[in-house]
Amino acid sequence: MTQQVLYGKEHVERYLATGGEEGYHWREDTTILVLFTRGRKSGKDYTTPLIYRDWGKHAYLVVASKGGSPEPPDWYLNLQADPDVEVQIQAERFRARARDAGPDEQADMWKHMVEVWPHYEEYQDKTDRQIPVVVLERTELV
């Protein structure tokens, strides 16, 4: 399948406008969700396209890698301040509660994500911080 590779604001706009018909399938056969967070300082609403994978029946995993930067991504800091978020997967939008993978879950969840995006290992090698796997647990439809 040929996919259009979108990034940043354009990725979010096309994804939301098409219910994920554009932007859901991304590079290297990954799939994308859109995470909606509120700025911890500004109070503004933010949208972020992220590689994800299902985890169980009602949970989804994303990785707060920021390409191996020493600082975590802003979306991660925002959900640390307010873990109640919204998520859109293709045309379905729902509320979720975000949490970091626990110590007993981290290794399995990390492996699950690296299977689809091996670059996470490279990112981890570039930084001293442990890159978190974030669990988005569905709470209700919007």
Range of the domain at 87: 8-141
Predicted local distance difference test score (pLDDT) of residue 142 = 65
pTM of the model: 0.93
Residue 45 is assigned to a structural domain of this protein: yes
Residue 58 is assigned to a structural domain of this protein: yes
Banded model confidence at residue 4, pLDDT cuts 50, 70, 90 = low
CATH code: domain of residue 89: 2.30.110.10
Residue 116 is assigned to a structural domain of this protein: yes
Residue 2 is assigned to a structural domain of this protein: no
List Cα–Cα distances, 113 to 33, 38, 66, in angstroms: 14, 25, 15
Banded model confidence at residue 1, pLDDT cuts 50, 70, 90 = very low
- Structurally, how many domains does the chain consist of? 1
Residue 3 is assigned to a structural domain of this protein: no
